[in-house]
Amino acid sequence: MHWSVKIFSLAIFAVGCIAKPAPIQYGKDACDFCRMTIMDPAFGGEIITRKGKVFKFDGTECLVNFYKAHLAPANDLPTILVADYSHPGRLMDAKQAVFLQDEKINSPMGAHLGAFPNTTAARQVSEDHRIIMGWNNLLELDLKK
């Protein structure tokens, strides 16, 4: 086999292995942490491992708890997507998101946690600007009930 054919074949294989999000089927898919049915498109998200396995969650608190229990100790560096509270159904990179913890946010597991694309969007929900944090700060919280 000619070297250019080998390189082309390898490139096609590599493109085919890129992990992609799977659409969340609200009302059908179950959370991979708490097993509840994923119902609200303003919450939740997905973790996609390096091997392409997709895990779905009904709330950011379930996603964080799953990540800390299963992927952080293994040093897996997955793609982490969270639902944009201000645009339900839209997923965004959790490491770029801003998280707001406020009693006005009725997240599925009761942590009152929503994800936003930026601080301005988060502040529109909370006049008193409750707890606004980034991904690394979120990992430090105890979100278990």
Mean of pLDDT values over 14-37:
84
Q: Supply the pLDDT for residue 143.
A: 79
With a pLDDT cut of 70, the percent of the chain lying above it is 83
Give percent of the chain above pLDDT 90.
51
Are residues 57 and 33 in contact, defined by beta-carbon separation less than 8 angstroms? yes
pTM of the shown model: 0.82
What is the pLDDT at residue 4? 42
The alpha helices in 102-142, defined as continuous H runs, are 119-123, 135-140
Q: Per-residue pLDDT for 48 more than 90?
A: yes
Q: Is residue 120 part of a domain?
A: yes
> Is the residue at 72 inside a domain?
yes
Q: Tell me the CA distances in angstroms from 123 to 7, 79, 90, 101, one per residue in order.
A: 50, 26, 19, 11
- How far apart are the C-alpha atoms of 96 and 134, rounded to whole Å? 8
Domain that holds residue 33: 21-140
C-alpha distances out from residue 73 to 33, 66, 76, 126, 141, Å: 16, 11, 8, 34, 16
Counted domains in the chain: 1
Does residue 1 belong to any structural domain of this protein? no
Residue 77 maps to a domain: yes
Task: Give the mean model confidence (pLDDT) for residues 85-110.
Answer: 92
Q: What is d(CA 61, CA 107) in angstroms, rounded to the nearest whole number?
A: 9
**3 has pLDDT over 70:** no
Buried b (16+ CB within 10 A) or exposed e, 104-117: ebebbbebbbbbbb
Q: Are 27 and 89 spatial neighbours (Cβ–Cβ below 8 Å)?
A: no
Q: Is 12 within the bounds of a domain?
A: no
State the number of CA atoms in the 13 A half-sphere of 80 facing the CB. Answer: 23
